């Protein structure tokens, strides 16, 4: 059984509640334990996961958050840099599932976050577990 850290950017709480529900359900169904860590926004997720990884306490990581396009190009920075940071952690050998939604509007976010619809939180948990399985294999 793996112990998984779910790191969530709590900027949009009502959307993250759905992402968390999906991720927790996927991990529970697979029989893995998990903890949740909350950070302010998506840019803090890679750093939080890197710090948690130093503890040696976790086998895999699930990053959850929502970035909605606004009127400025800050969206591109947050979306791109958070994804780059998570990819760097993955390339360094961590099993990280990226569940950061990057969307145009709240309706798109709701569809993707809702466990009864696209269930991207559950998908991110599944991705982390798949990478953990590959890590164990190799």
* pLDDT tens digit sequence for 2-27: 999 999 999 999 999 999 999 999 99
Is 104 annotated for ligand binding? Answer: no
- Identify the band that residue 95 occupies on the pLDDT scale cut at 50, 70 and 90: very high
Q: How far apart are CA 127 and CA 21, in angstroms?
A: 16
| pLDDT on residue 128 | 98
| pLDDT on residue 14 | 96
Is 42 annotated for ligand binding? Answer: yes
| pLDDT on residue 70 | 86
Q: What's the chain's average pLDDT?
A: 97
- Identify the band that residue 71 occupies on the pLDDT scale cut at 50, 70 and 90: confident
Mean pLDDT of 28-41: 98
The catalytic residues are 74
CATH 3.30.1360.200 for domain 62-138, yes or no, is no
Spell out the domain ranges in the chain.
62-138
- Identify the band that residue 51 occupies on the pLDDT scale cut at 50, 70 and 90: very high
Instruction: Work out whether strand 96-103 and strand 33-39 pair parallel, antiparallel, or are unpaired.
Output: unpaired
| pLDDT on residue 135 | 95
> What is the length of the chain?
138
Is 4 annotated for ligand binding? Answer: no
Q: Does residue 72 surpass a pLDDT of 90?
A: no
Q: Do 108 and 67 meet the contact criterion of CB atoms below 8 Å apart? A: no
């Amino acid at each position: 059984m793996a112990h998984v850290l779910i790191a969530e950017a709590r900027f949009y709480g009502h959307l993250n509640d759905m992402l968390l529900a999906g991720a927790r359900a996927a991990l529970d169904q697979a029989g893995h334990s998990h903890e949740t860590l909350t950070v302010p926004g998506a840019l803090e997720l890679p750093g939080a996961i890197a710090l948690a990884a130093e503890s040696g306490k976790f086998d895999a990581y699930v990053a959850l958050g929502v970035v909605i396009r606004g009127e400025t190009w800050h969206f591109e920075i947050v979306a791109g840099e958070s994804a780059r940071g998570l990819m760097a952690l993955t390339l360094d050998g961590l099993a990280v599932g990226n569940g950061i939604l990057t969307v145009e509007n709240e309706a798109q976010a709701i569809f993707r976050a809702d466990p009864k619809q696209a269930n991207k939180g559950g998908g991110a948990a599944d991705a982390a577990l798949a990478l953990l399985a590959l890590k164990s294999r190799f």
